[in-house]
Amino acid sequence: MKVFLTKGIVSTMAAAWIAMAAIPLGAQASGSDLAYPDVSESHYASQEIAKLKQQGIVTAENDGSFHPDDAITRGDAAVWLSKALHLNKPKALNGFLDITEKSPYVDAVNALKEHAIVEGNNGMYEPDSFLTREQMASLLVRAFQLKDNGIQAWLKDEAQIGKWHHDDVVKLKQNFITDQITYMPQDLVTRAQLVLFLSRTLAQKEIATSGETSLDDFLRLPDRAVMRLSPDSQTLAYLHPSDNNRMNIYIQKLGETASKQITNVKDEYISKIFWITNNVLVYVVDTGGTENTHLRALQIDGSSDKDLTPFPNVKADLLDVIPSKNESDIDILVTMNKRDPKIMDVYRINLLTGQLSVQETNPGNIAFYLTDNYGHIRAALAKDGEKKTLLYREEETKPFDQIATFDRKDTFAPVMFSFDNKQLFAVSDVGRDKQALVVYDPILKKETEIIDMNDQYDVDDFLVSYATESILAVSYEGDDIQTNYLDAGFERVAGVISSLLKTTQWKILGSVDKENFLVYSNDDTSYGSYYYYSRKGHSLHKIADINPYLDATKMADMQPISFKSRDGLLIHGYLTLPKGLPPSKLPVVVHPHGGPWARDSWGFDLDVQLLASQGYAVLQLNYRGSTGYGKEFLHAGDKEWGRNMQNDITDGVNWLIKRGTADPERIAIYGASYGGYATLAGLAFTPDLYAAGVDVVGPSNLFTFLNTMAPYWELSRPEMYQEVGDPVKDKARLEAASPLLHADQIKAPLMIAQGVNDPRVNKAESDQMVAAMRQLDVDVPYMLKQGEGHGFYKPENERDFYQALIQFLNKYVKNKKTKSTETAN
3 state SS of 647: helix
pTM reported for the whole predicted model = 0.93
Q: Which residue among 209, 226, 261 closes a domain?
A: 209
Q: Please measure the distance between the N-terminal and C-terminal CA atoms of the chain and give it in whole angstroms.
A: 19
| pLDDT band for position 127 (cuts 50, 70, 90) | very high
Predicted pLDDT of residue 711? 94
32 is catalytic: no
Closest by CA to 391, choosing from 429, 411, 365, 427, is: 365
Q: What is the CA radius of gyration of the chain?
A: 30
* 3 CB neighbour count, 10 Å cutoff: 13
| pLDDT band for position 818 (cuts 50, 70, 90) | low
Edge to edge, the sheet with strand 446-452 lists: 412-417, 424-428, 436-441, 446-452
Closest by CA to 125, choosing from 92, 76, 164, is: 76
Helices (H), 250-360: none
3-state DSSP of 365-411: CEEEEEECCCCCEEEEEEEECCEEEEEECCCCCCCCEEEEEECCCCC
Give the E-state strand segments of 329-488 in sequence order.
331-336, 345-350, 356-360, 366-371, 377-384, 387-392, 401-406, 412-417, 424-428, 436-441, 446-452, 459-465, 470-477, 481-485
Domain count, the chain: 2
* 237 is a domain residue: no
Q: pLDDT at residue 6 above 50?
A: no
pLDDT tens for 499-556 read 999 999 999 999 999 999 999 999 999 999 999 999 998 999 999 999 999 999 999 9
* 570 CB neighbour count, 10 Å cutoff: 10
758 is catalytic: yes
What sign has the CA pseudo-torsion 146, 148, 152, 157? positive
- Cα–Cα dist 731/675, whole Å: 22
Q: Which residue among 209, 226, 249 closes a domain?
A: 209
Closest by CA to 77, choosing from 137, 17, 10, is: 137
* 738 is a domain residue: yes
Measured at the CA of 593, the angle between CA 592 and CA 597, to 5 degrees, comes to 125
What sign has the CA pseudo-torsion 684, 686, 692, 694? negative
* 496 is a domain residue: no
pLDDT tens for 727-753 read 999 999 999 999 999 999 999 999 999
Predicted pLDDT of residue 204? 84
Predicted pLDDT of residue 495? 97
- Cα–Cα dist 679/674, whole Å: 9
Task: Out of 475, 673, 700, 738, pick the active-site residue.
Answer: 673
* 1 CB neighbour count, 10 Å cutoff: 3
Q: pLDDT at residue 27 above 60?
A: no
Q: Is-contact 665 816, C-beta < 8 A?
A: yes
Predicted pLDDT of residue 638? 98
Q: What is the DSSP letter of 222?
A: P
Beta strand pairing call for 387-392 and 377-384: antiparallel
Q: Is-contact 562 594, C-beta < 8 A?
A: no
Domain range holding 793?
A: 562-814
- The whole-chain average pLDDT of the chain stands at 93
Beta strand pairing call for 692-696 and 662-672: parallel
* 52 is a domain residue: yes
Q: Is-contact 342 711, C-beta < 8 A?
A: yes
Q: Which residue among 209, 240, 273 closes a domain?
A: 209
pLDDT tens for 590-613 read 999 999 999 999 999 999 999 999
Predicted pLDDT of residue 208? 77
* 186 is a domain residue: yes
CATH number for the domain spanning 656: value is 3.40.50.1820
Closest by CA to 747, choosing from 812, 821, 690, 695, is: 690
* 635 is a domain residue: yes
Q: Is-contact 700 677, C-beta < 8 A?
A: yes
* 727 is a domain residue: yes
Beta strand pairing call for 459-465 and 280-287: unpaired
673 is catalytic: yes
Task: Out of 69, 758, 779, 800, pick the active-site residue.
Answer: 758
* 505 is a domain residue: no
Task: Out of 67, 166, 376, 790, pick the active-site residue.
Answer: 790
Closest by CA to 354, choosing from 302, 297, 311, is: 297
Helices (H), 26-132: 46-54, 74-84, 106-114
